[in-house]
Structure 1
Amino acid sequence: MILLSFTVRNHASIRDEITVDLMRPTLRTLKPRDGDWRAAAYPLVGIFGGNATGKSSVLDALHYVFGAIRQSATSWQDSRAMRRAPFQLDEAARDGSSSYELDFVHEGRRHLYGFEVDAEGIRREWLRDVPTSRWRTLLERDREENTLTFHASLRGRVEVTRRELVLSRALLLHDSPLHPVAFDLADSFDVVLVKDSHREARLSSIADALADGAISFADLETLLQAADIGVLKVDIEETNISDRARRLFQRFVRAVAKDGGAEDQVDGEAGDDSDDLDEDELAQVVRSLIFTHRGTSEECPPFSIRSESDGTIAWLATAVPALEALRSGGVLLVDEIDSSLHPHLLELLLGAFADPEVNTRQAQLIFTSHESYILSPLSDVTLEPEQVWFTDKSYEGVTELTCLADFPKHKDANVARRYLTGRYGGTPRLSPSSFAILVGDREG
């Protein structure tokens, strides 16, 4: 899958419709004349902005879409109401519907998939493609008109409840003609969050992947050595756990699984009952990573993950899914990519996605960041104006999204400096005097 654009309305701090566009300006038709979709879409998009301006809300909305495709036909059915996260600071938006739309390429063909949800469930759903030179409707669903129609080329029907997507149901039906599209969307997506619970779950999954052979020790050691953080060797430590610890761990797994969406109201990718551990799985050992560092003595003692720096943990939690995306393709979201990482490590990650000789599978990275270094002339990674987006928040608490390409172009302008001085918005409105008054009040 190659993502061309994403449009969302009424999600978290996003009230009004916004679109993140990954298409290059050279694409002026419905499809490239030479059929090269790789040259038509950017592999990198960065979203910059101050704290609480809604950068994470943009990624969370994407997280929600893929979570709905994966699970609205399964675990979401157990919820008492439709899982959603509308804008809360406006009554009309809070009670209204939310809409999401993906413009993407599947098996060399452009598709448009979207849906609209409200408190009752799925209000509308649609899927279109471009087989020749114009859009063709494959699926059209409208709750108000009580219609669910499919193109004649799609054999049979898909029965769904009011709170599940047709594409989510098709994901379970391997003989459905919509299954390949649903599977491509569900399988071509991963997200890296900055939350400690997410990082802990990611590191635990890395340890299990090492034990199962899904990731090689050599790969992980190479990633750590590429970051030059002094780790020579990686092992896994296995520990048997008590019955009480098993129950607590089961509870922890469920809690982490539900920690994937905006304000704990939505479930991005986990939370499915299939993620619960059965008794046989719980009887197994708990695995954790241990590291051997470079030192002066011949035999250096190994360190547990708890002894490692935040930078090492952040690098592993980000670099491993980045490596998987580069090897298999798809879309990777990374929230606060600069958190605990040196700017040169950021360049290493971004440069890998930007380099077509490395990124041979057309993987895409969408990240949020505060780091202005990426925008400066000092960075080795050059982002075109169309790859740089800024979030700001209005007086009403609404996230606004703008693209650097929308601003007047200044030859040889230092984008990083202009960003930090607020020329593009997205910078915090600070009040040093208020902070000083607080300090004075305390001293008095």
Structure 2
Amino acid sequence: MIVDFTISNFRSIRDKQTFSLYAETPGGHLLENISYPAGKKVGVLNSAGIYGANASGKSNVLLAFEALQWLVCVSGRLTDGSAIGCYEPFRLSKKTRTAPVRFEIEFFTPDGMRYVYKIAFTRKRIVEEHLSFYPSAKAALIFDRNSEDTWETIKLGGMYTGGRRKFPFFDNNSYLSKAGDSADAPELIRKVYNYFQNDILRLGLNEEIHFDDWIDNPDVFKKVSAILGFVDAGVDGVIVRKSSVDEEDVRFPDDIPQAVRESILRDMRRTFLFAHPTEAGDSELFDLRLESSGTQRLFRLAPLIVQTLEDGGILIVDELDNSMHPFMAELIIRLFNDPDVNCGNAQLIFSTHNISLMSPERFRRDQIWLTEKTNGATRLFSLDEFDKNKVKSQSPFNRWYAEGRFGAVPKIDYHKIAEVMTNKAEASNA
């Protein structure tokens, strides 16, 4: 479970911003929305939603998770001198354009061990990297690296034992990526690497998922099919029809990359058919493309929901309710906040514009986050930062947000827009 994530100088996030899922004051409101991955020591929220105007930085917060995951899982494959692809500093200030991007994350792995990982990097160089853990109340170092360190001088902690620890890396490789992906590394470092590799799932607004990972899993496929049947989508079940298509059966232009060819072939090898009940009592099969956009979106999201809840991972979704009825988004949130369903400490982190979800019946104050921009820089804050005597646990969050009491709403000048549409603005400037 993620306890908190601190970001600075990434895209629109100029200054240090911390997205926290730590239930600092559990109180008595919606206690079922809190999990305790290490006994009763630390309470962590099962879900959190981010609100804000368009282009206020909501998606950038979620993209920071993806960038961090890339650094941990992929940067080790970079050749010497290659650019770090996720280096995207704040570009509206001369001070930050070439300054390091910085991430810091505190998290629990599924076994209840607590870690802190920090990394700072420029376009072609990782200038800081640090990993520590808490075998007791006191933090213990696993490794620490600064801008001058090489793979031979990196500092290694005394409790970091059990395998090979020295791994050659270039300036643009994270040590965690190189060591964690090696079979002879200590189990401790491989466990952290696998956490980032397998337990953090993200679905962007227009992203597709690879169905190959779950269509051959009967349990997951059964649950996905059942979910669609129980949400009044008019679907009785889902059938996958497979066919054998080889690359020589398709004429690809010479300039099509191999990865794209494989993706196209995967799609051609399987067809998803949705069974709809007919008046006669039997079923008619419809291709996925003929289903509503909401059904398609839920179908693509459902496998990730099932996998995350079963594995105790983290699901990150940009615009959770996109193309779906608000009731569908409410259902997904409810699953993650239900301790009888979410037995493995899974988490849901999402962005949305749907203020009907912003309700004290669904969320605690510390689960609702807001983004707003000042001079192009994003500020991230939660309702828990407002005066608790004024914004209480049972306050009408959504109505007050719509009224602008919390900020983070678009500033729209209707009269100026109306002048533009009626050409009055041109006339007044003539």
- Cα 1:110–1:429 change in 2 (3 A) is same
Please say if residues 181 and 193 of structure 2, whose CA atoms lie closer than 8 Å, have aligned partners that are also in contact: no
The 1-side partners of 2:214 and 2:114 are apart by 34
List alignment gaps of at least 5 residues for structure 2: 27-34
SS of match in other structure, 2:412? coil
The residue number in structure 2 matching 1:209 is 214
The residue number in structure 1 matching 2:158 is 152
Please say if residues 169 and 178 of structure 2, whose CA atoms lie closer than 8 Å, have aligned partners that are also in contact: yes
1:414-425 equivalent positions in 2, closer than 5 A: 414-425=396-407
Of 178, 194, 200 in structure 2, the residue corresponding to residue 169 of structure 1 is 178
Letter in 2 for 1:424: F
What displacement does 1:438 show?
Answer: 2.8
- Cα 1:285–1:92 change in 2 (3 A) is same
The residue number in structure 2 matching 1:266 is none
1:33-48 equivalent positions in 2, closer than 5 A: 35-36=38-39, 40-48=43-51
> Once the two structures are superposed, what CA deviation does each residue of 1:323-362 show, in whole Å capped at 9, x if it has no partner?
1100111111011002111121112111110011110010
The 1-side partners of 2:36 and 2:326 are apart by 38
The 2-side partners of 1:349 and 1:162 are apart by 41
Letter in 2 for 1:56: S
> 1:184 aligned to 2:195?
yes
- Cα 1:34–1:52 change in 2 (3 A) is closer
Please say if residues 72 and 168 of structure 1, whose CA atoms lie closer than 8 Å, have aligned partners that are also in contact: yes
1:201-350 equivalent positions in 2, closer than 5 A: 202=209, 205-206=210-211, 209-210=214-215, 212-213=216-217, 216-238=220-242, 240=245, 243=248, 245=250, 247=252, 251=256, 254=259, 277=262, 285-350=268-333
Letter in 1 for 2:422: G
Please say if residues 49 and 390 of structure 1, whose CA atoms lie closer than 8 Å, have aligned partners that are also in contact: yes
What displacement does 1:242 show?
Answer: 6.7
- In the TM superposition, structure 1's runs of 4+ consecutive aligned residues that sit over 6 Å from their partners are none
> 1:403 aligned to 2:403?
no
The residue number in structure 2 matching 1:128 is 132
What displacement does 1:184 show?
Answer: 2.0
Letter in 1 for 2:93: D
What displacement does 1:286 show?
Answer: 2.4
- Cα 1:403–1:306 change in 2 (3 A) is same
The 2-side partners of 1:376 and 1:183 are apart by 35
Letter in 2 for 1:336: E
The 2-side partners of 1:132 and 1:171 are apart by 23
User: What is the TM-score with the length of structure 1 in the denominator?
Assistant: 0.83
User: What is the TM-score with the length of structure 2 in the denominator?
Assistant: 0.86
SS of match in other structure, 1:127? strand
The residue number in structure 2 matching 1:82 is 84
- Cα 1:285–1:345 change in 2 (3 A) is closer
The 2-side partners of 1:367 and 1:419 are apart by 18
- Cα 1:140–1:42 change in 2 (3 A) is same
Please say if residues 277 and 284 of structure 2, whose CA atoms lie closer than 8 Å, have aligned partners that are also in contact: no
The 1-side partners of 2:116 and 2:300 are apart by 31
- Cα 1:283–1:363 change in 2 (3 A) is closer
> Once the two structures are superposed, what CA deviation does each residue of 1:345-400 show, in whole Å capped at 9, x if it has no partner?
112111110011110010011111111111135xx52x111111100011x21111
Please say if residues 129 and 137 of structure 1, whose CA atoms lie closer than 8 Å, have aligned partners that are also in contact: yes
- Cα 1:207–1:80 change in 2 (3 A) is closer
SS of match in other structure, 1:433? helix
What displacement does 1:214 show?
Answer: 5.7
The 2-side partners of 1:55 and 1:284 are apart by 31
- Cα 1:95–1:245 change in 2 (3 A) is farther
Of 391, 415, 419 in structure 1, the residue corresponding to residue 371 of structure 2 is 391
Letter in 2 for 1:185: F
> 1:63 aligned to 2:63?
no
The 1-side partners of 2:254 and 2:139 are apart by 49
Please say if residues 37 and 345 of structure 2, whose CA atoms lie closer than 8 Å, have aligned partners that are also in contact: no
List alignment gaps of at least 5 residues for structure 1: 256-275
Please say if residues 23 and 42 of structure 1, whose CA atoms lie closer than 8 Å, have aligned partners that are also in contact: yes
Please say if residues 36 and 43 of structure 2, whose CA atoms lie closer than 8 Å, have aligned partners that are also in contact: no
The structure carrying a bigger helix percent of its residues is 1
CA RMSD of aligned residues (A): 3.0
- Cα 1:123–1:316 change in 2 (3 A) is same
Please say if residues 376 and 417 of structure 1, whose CA atoms lie closer than 8 Å, have aligned partners that are also in contact: no
The 1-side partners of 2:130 and 2:257 are apart by 37
What displacement does 1:174 show?
Answer: 1.8
Please say if residues 114 and 126 of structure 1, whose CA atoms lie closer than 8 Å, have aligned partners that are also in contact: yes
Letter in 1 for 2:106: D
Letter in 2 for 1:385: R
Please say if residues 320 and 352 of structure 2, whose CA atoms lie closer than 8 Å, have aligned partners that are also in contact: yes
The 2-side partners of 1:389 and 1:253 are apart by 41
SS of match in other structure, 1:163? coil
What displacement does 1:175 show?
Answer: 2.1
The 2-side partners of 1:34 and 1:165 are apart by 27
Please say if residues 125 and 165 of structure 1, whose CA atoms lie closer than 8 Å, have aligned partners that are also in contact: yes
What displacement does 1:294 show?
Answer: 2.4
The 2-side partners of 1:145 and 1:208 are apart by 39
